[in-house]
Chain A
Amino acid sequence: MTLMLRALREHAPSILVAALSSAFGVSLISITGVLTEVIADADLNSETLTFILSFIAVVFIVIALYVGALVTANTFATIIAGRVRTIALLRLIGSSAAMQRRAVAREGLTVGVIGALLGGIVGVLFPVVVVGVGVAVGMIPDGSYTYATATMLLPVAAVALTTTAASWVGSRRVLSVSPMDALGAAGEQSIGEQTARRTRNRVALLLFLGGNVILGVAVAIGQTSPLAVLIGLAGGILSFSGVVMAASVVMPRALRGIGRVFGSSPTARLARENAVRYPERSARTTIGLVIGVTLITTFAVTAASYQSIIETAQKEMPGVYEGVGPVLTVTVAVFSVLMGFSALIAAVGMVNNLSLNVLQRTRELGLLRALGFTARQIRRMILIESAQLSGAAVAVGLVLGTFYGWVGAQSLIGGIPGSPGIVLPTMPLALIGVIVVAAATLTVVASIAPSRRATRITPVAALARA
């Protein structure tokens, strides 16, 4: 019973992530369908518009799936890290690593199926409500729309699959748990893993540099052709994949920088050490948020730079750009909402990883309390740690996003008639403010509850935890 509860607590956030992705996919398809019907009825150039709408829907669903899978893989890695001792004990008494990993993958499958189905149901119902409201206020013409189609099974199946795959990837660490980990201090990596990491880091660096070169090429070509944005997209994916792969090298650097802000009290010093000490753990915790912030920033900076280039061009050659303003605003608004959804998924992952980290360290926190850390100091330490983690994630995301976003705008419309050529990126300050505030809120939410739980029990009980 307690085992079931514990499993549920561990997996609830992954179920939520799967449900969110699936609900997003299903409702996007449904709403696209309704819009298509509306357009077809109005008979506006329907073929092209339908195609564009479907294309956009697919892109955003894929982004949500990607973010969801990444978050889930990280969550599973965190859960496995917390189970090392148990796994090692099972290995000690004769269970094979492959058996253990298959068991984790089965959990992943269950999580994926439950989440995808729940999300599917919500995803079917949500558009019904939205369209109902739309009709009531007169934005959408009254009519009988189809809300459920076979296509909707695609995102549901895709979520179940990606979640299972993510749990498989995230459970890689199971293979490296040795029965010895049951005896000694677990959590340190072996030499073999370190070597594998070095190769991985080299590949990551190559991807990052290669990607950036391609991005540069895209900017140059963008001076003459808008198709350069496709080259830019490829470059961006390569470059960002490099960052994600090398997260356990990149994030600790950023963490060290951010950590200085919090001063040198024992609480802050320990928090800084903790955040930097386990690079894998810090990378796992932050990468979801890095992705979320990078996505939003990329998009926002592209939109803002795009707008400013067009405004300049408009001044140069009025007439060419008549009526472009409102369309731009609506497009930006719709895309923001769609992007925001992926960011939400990333946020769920971040909160969950932070909380799991604290829960898994109950014993260490018990020792600190025995030695004289007050419960309040412990809570402050955890808060600072979380603040460092989210601060570093936001900083890295903002830098990357600004760069990618600038490349996006330059390569797309750097060469339009009247364009000022190469310009500095335009930073949407309000949005950056929102991101920082949202990240700060996340930090507090993610650290308060688990640190309270960790300090409510007596130090002895905490020390006795496995």
Chain B
Amino acid sequence: MKPTSTDLGLVARVAHLHKSYGTTNTRVNALTDVSVGIRRGEFTAIMGPSGSGKSTLMHIMAGLDTASSGSVWLGDTDISGLDDSNLTVLRRRRVGFIFQSFNLVPTLDISGNILLPFELDGRAPTAEEQAWIDRLIAVLGLTDRLRHRPHELSGGQQQRVAIARALATRPDLVFADEPTGNLDSRTSREVLTLLQTASREYGQSIAMVTHDPVAASYADRIVLLNDGRVVDDRSRSTPEEISSIMLGMEALS
């Protein structure tokens, strides 16, 4: 019998993943034969140049998009075979998201946005969850903003709300696509430290897509993509090391 993801200590996994867009004559191969696992409790960075397939990989791992071929597991569930509503419930319970932009529901205020995952699940946060949410709100500096609507916040503030929402339910895995892309360096550091803390102290598994070597240096592990393939997989590195690898890669492509 094949080992399950859990046996391997993985929270998500793809094997021989291919993804192409367009028709035969305009075909773009966004991902080519990608096999990679995200380890439970770790903070993983997915890096690579623009257009290398990072967002595509994240979307497919999270069940937001479908693969052209290959297998995708979330925990021990093979999600390539799931229908849309099962996939949705899985996402609701087990995955958190932080997107590059357009993260918040415009009709809900900040508090409503943060509590949305609970509401979608038809329950209120437990006392313990509420305490965690309050702490997230305080750390992210959103205490005075709870009654505001998203359009009344700056881009960075909106991003922080999305982070609070993604971490609020303590999902199995949080996917973050350039979560610090819109933030100044001080706020970025705070956010990254928060993600790191969530991972170290609470065992939160996080997969973060980023360009930024400094952001990636907060991660326990760095997976490098180039032109739709995994080209490197390394443990914690300094920003300088990561920069030089990235530069080398850009020179090649």
Contact = CB atoms under 8 A, between A and B. Distances in A.
A277 B106 CA distance: 9
Given A274-B107, A370-B91, A372-B121, A463 B85 contact: no
A276 B105 CA distance: 14
Interface string B104-124: 111110000000110111100
B139 interface: no
Contacts, number: 72
Nearest to B151: A185
A277 B107 contact: yes
Interface stretch (A29-37, A201-209, A237-245, A373-381): A373-381
A364 B105 contact: yes
Contact of A373 (B88, B104, B151): B88
B87 to A, nearest CB: 9
A375 B88 contact: yes
A375 to B, nearest CB: 5
A189 B183 CA distance: 26
Contacts of B97: 370-371
B23 to A, nearest CB: 15
Interface residues of A, number: 29
Contact of A363 (B93, B102, B117): B102
A375 B64 contact: no
A370 B151 CA distance: 20
Contacts of B107: 270, 273-274, 277
Contacts of A187: 106
A363 B160 CA distance: 20
A229 B169 CA distance: 65
Given A270-B108, A367-B105, A371-B91, 18 more contacts: A185-B106, A270-B105, A273-B107, A277-B106, A367-B99, A369-B88, A370-B97, A371-B120, A371-B165, A372-B93, A373-B88, A374-B84, A374-B85, A375-B85, A458-B64, A458-B65, A459-B64, A463-B102
Interface of A: 184-185, 187-188, 265-266, 269-270, 273-274, 277, 363-364, 367-376, 455, 458-461, 463
19 contacts: A185-B150, A188-B151, A265-B122, A266-B116, A270-B105, A273-B108, A367-B104, A369-B88, A370-B91, A371-B97, A371-B120, A372-B91, A372-B117, A374-B89, A375-B88, A458-B65, A459-B64, A461-B65, A463-B99
